[in-house]
Structure 1
Amino acid sequence: MSSATTGATLPTGIKVLASFPDVLVLPEFVFGGLVWILVASTKVAVTMSQGWVMFVSVFCFVISTLLLFLYMCGAHCGKSAWVAVDAFYQVTASIFYLSAAVLQAYTTYMLRNVGLHKTYQIDIAAVVFAFAVTLTYVIHMVFSLLRWKAS
């Protein structure tokens, strides 16, 4: 998870948190966790769309945590397939979060006149953070794909 300009290998240890785009895992955790918390704290009105948002936020949080720990422990050392795994995950997470952000925005828009002002404000915050985490995953995806191409 290092920049494509510094080579096509993933860093190990604490260097994971000191290299770009890998440092983006921190805002991905924060923004993704906020989406998870905000959607969970409201009354879920549309179970299918908000259920997808919850699935995406929990799934990406768990897989990102797992990959971070594996990279920090050096489980990927000497294995070139991990660069492809990282790129594949970033593409998947970007697509998942884009779909979740759009669904959350649509659900929030449809529920704007229900009369629950506080819930509506929380849903708006969830939409903002869903698009913020989507942006961080897309940036991470672009640099992961560049690293994969260079490997």
Structure 2
Amino acid sequence: MSSADDSGSTIPSGCNVFVSVPELLMLGEFVFGGLVWILVASTRVAFAFDQGWVMFVSVFCFVITTLLFILYMVGVQRSSSAWTVVDVFYHVIAAIFYLSIAVLQASDTRFPLFAGNYYRINIAATVFAFLATLLYTIHAILSIVRWKTSS
């Protein structure tokens, strides 16, 4: 991890977000979350309520992850040490939400209602949802460690 800034924040800013391990995971979260969003949006909806939750979580996490990444690059976290708590809170919630949609997507995929490409697209969305869950979980653990060592 990178060293603390003058204000005590341990979250890096500027181009250092590309070399810090927890923040580097945000790029993978961004990519896999975007793929889940795109793949689920491109299939036929078999279970509207389930797919609505999957779309909400994937779009919400995609937007918030992008916003946090940009804010970290700008250096807004240098103004307060509360950003480490925000980072922990967001990534724990995102990991739980992504676990819920990965399981839901896997559950819905086991019923191949639509043969052909739709079934394969749903399988791909399930795999990417579990990969995003893994990245968010690792990021949450590393953020908790960073938060505990900084306080």
Per the normalisation by structure 1, the TM-score is: 0.92
Corresponding pairs, count: 146
Alignment correspondent of 2:133 = 134
Q: How far has the Cα of 1:115 moved from its partner?
A: 4.4
Corresponding position of 2:118:
119
**Residue segments in structure 2 that go unaligned for 5+ positions in a row:** none
Say yes or no: does 1:69 pair with 2:70: yes
Kindly state the Cα deviation for residue 147 of structure 1 after the two structures are TM-superposed.
Answer: 0.7
Aligned amino acid, residue 116 of structure 1: A
Structure 1 runs of 4+ off > 3 angstroms? Answer: 5-8
Cα distance in 2, alignment partners of residues 115 and 90 from structure 1: 34
Q: Could you report, residue by residue, the CA deviation over 1:5-51 in whole angstroms, capped at 9, with x for unpaired residues?
A: 85561000010111111100111111111100000000011011111
Report the Cα offset of residue 76 of structure 1.
1.2
TM-score, length-scaled by structure 2: 0.92
Give the share of equivalent positions with the same residue, in percent. Answer: 58
1:144 aligns with 2:151: no
After superposition, the C-alpha distances for 1:94-115 in whole angstroms (9 at most, x for unaligned) are 0000000000000001x22x24
Quick one: higher RCO (CA 8 Å, sep 6+), 1 or 2?
Answer: 1
Matched residue, 1:12? 13
CA contact (8 A) 2:23 2:69 kept: no
Instruction: Give the secondary structure class of the aligned counterpart of 2:78.
Output: coil
